Amino acid sequence: MAYDYDLFVIGGGSGGVRAARVAAGGGAKVALAEEDRYGGTCVIRGCVPKKLMVFASTYSAAFEEARDYGWEVSSGPFNWHAFKSKLEDELDRLESVYQRLLDNSGVERFSQRATVKSAHEIELADGTVKSAETILVATGGRPVVPEMPGSELGITSNEIFHLDELPKRMLIIGGGYIACEFAGIMTGLGVEVCQWYRGAQILRGFDDEARGAIADGMRARGVDLHTGTNIMEMKRLGDHDPDMDSAPIGDRAPQALRYDGPRGKAGQIWVKSTTGGEMVFDQVLFATGRMPNTEGLGLARAGVEVGRRGEAVVDAYSRSAVPSIYAIGDVTNRVQLTPVAIREGMAFVDTVFNDTPTAVDHELIPSAVFTQPEFGTVGLTEEEARDQEPIEVYATSFRAMRQAFAGHDERVLMKLIVSQATRRVLGCHIVADGAGEMIQLAGIAVKMGATKEDFDRVCAVHPTMSEELVTMKTPVRTA
């Protein structure tokens, strides 16, 4: 049977665009539909604008540090409008690059929503039905907001790049990547940030010692971080709110959550915590996880299994229960990272169009959390490794030269987890400014199976922070 296309991709984010243009580059007839902006979460409302905000936010500390180094500089307030307008221009530019990449590879673009009609059919929002030999679902994910009274007053990472004004006081809910990254960003931009996380320590799933070091560093930089605390209720203060007229908010907050500023005023958001505290904020950000974008996509109707979190269930080759339908990226809820989605897209093309069945390798993926201080990590945590086999832990915590000279107390953490049996480095965890850049390189060694002795054979680069990775001689503990 002749189809309209060899491949129809639904979703123009990092994974979908890469798969579409590589397949088209190899001679396949390819179409792609995108209902929102080309570039997807990473480019439009994720990694890229976030990283630019990280850069913007580090200048407040840089001005201060410059003075510690003898510069006579004075810093003014951050101009959100000037930054935002530049950011929007940059995102427009990147979106057009993505569109051009597709056009230049001969991919036909449909800028509208598409749903799966059957194993080989796609229905566009305008009612047109297209057929394809293979369908690739790359629709990504979206933020989840917990249900509670007033939760519609909060924003998510989707909205944070579009704020009309920066809030004076902001509450961030969550303790994952996005919550912790934005706590640092907003603090650096001059916003008073309070962060509530329901668990005992932020960044669940990462190395415990690193989590502690990051939490300490975030607090030292001004984030008012409360663990064991969640939000229960929120409401917008009105002009004559009787509750708010009766007592200053601070009087009703337990000591740990006390807010000593002026009492709430109309337009602000009043929140109540699970620990009984009541506070007011100008903005509340929910960074409480993301879920796959499969709602109304027609997957189940076409026979694709949809999992409990709404994910498209696929095998190691990204193939669903329907042999002609594949899915990659966040919609599969495997590893929610852009480079992983891109690799899944490439593996999909090799499997389907290049006659080379390629399972996606999800082992030893290095990643960075752009907290302040930054976190770079690859491999097993100490806790995971010691459950698996006998290990040695090499770790050092020290004041980096640059900060020490400036008179700051902040500490850097460098940590290696080593197998006692094979001597392989099973995990590497770095909490330091620039840790994201460092872990990319350490990740090569760890992925290659380097042993502790291989690390030791490498001459130190002096004076750097990362030289500690090759100079740690004695384990701090074995387990």
Active-site positions read 462
Least Cβ distance, residue 78 to ligand NDP (angstroms): 22
Nearest to 414 by CA among 389, 439, 390: 439
Nearest to 5 by CA among 110, 96, 140: 110
Least Cβ distance, residue 467 to ligand NDP (angstroms): 25
Q: Which is nearer to ligand NDP, 189 or 337 (CB)?
A: 337
Site string for ligand NDP, 191-220 (x = CB under 6 A): ------xxx----x----------------
Burial code of 167-176, b = ≥16 C-beta within 10 A, e = fewer?
A: bebbbbbbbb
The residues in 161-190 that bind ligand NDP, with binding defined as CB under 6 A, are 173-179, 181
Instruction: Specify whether the CB–CB gap between 458 and 467 falls below 8 A.
Output: no
Site string for ligand NDP, 87-116 (x = CB under 6 A): ------------------------------
Reading phi first (left if > 0) and then psi (alpha if -120 to 50, else beta), residue 389 is in beta
Residue nearest to ligand NDP (CB): 176
Nearest to 117 by CA among 351, 324, 341, 330: 324
Q: Does 290 contact ligand NDP by CB under 6 A?
A: yes
Q: Does 381 contact ligand NDP by CB under 6 A?
A: no
The residue from 288, 293, 351, 466 that contacts ligand NDP (CB under 6 A) is 288
Could you tell me which residues are beta bridge partners of residue 433?
none
Least Cβ distance, residue 132 to ligand NDP (angstroms): 29
Q: Does 369 contact ligand NDP by CB under 6 A?
A: yes
Q: Which is nearer to ligand NDP, 146 or 212 (CB)?
A: 146
Residues touching ligand NDP, count (CB under 6 A): 24
The residue from 190, 228, 289, 434 that contacts ligand NDP (CB under 6 A) is 289
Count the Cβ atoms, other than its own, within 10 Å of residue 295.
11
426: tokens are: 């099973």
DSSP per position, 208-246: HHHHHHHHHHHHHTT-EEEES--EEEEEE--TT-HHHHH
Q: Does 339 contact ligand NDP by CB under 6 A?
A: no
Taking CA atoms, 45 is separated from 21, 165, 167, 442, in Å, by 22, 18, 19, 28
Residues interacting with ligand NDP, by CB under 6 A?
146, 173-179, 181, 197-199, 204, 230, 287-290, 336-337, 367-370
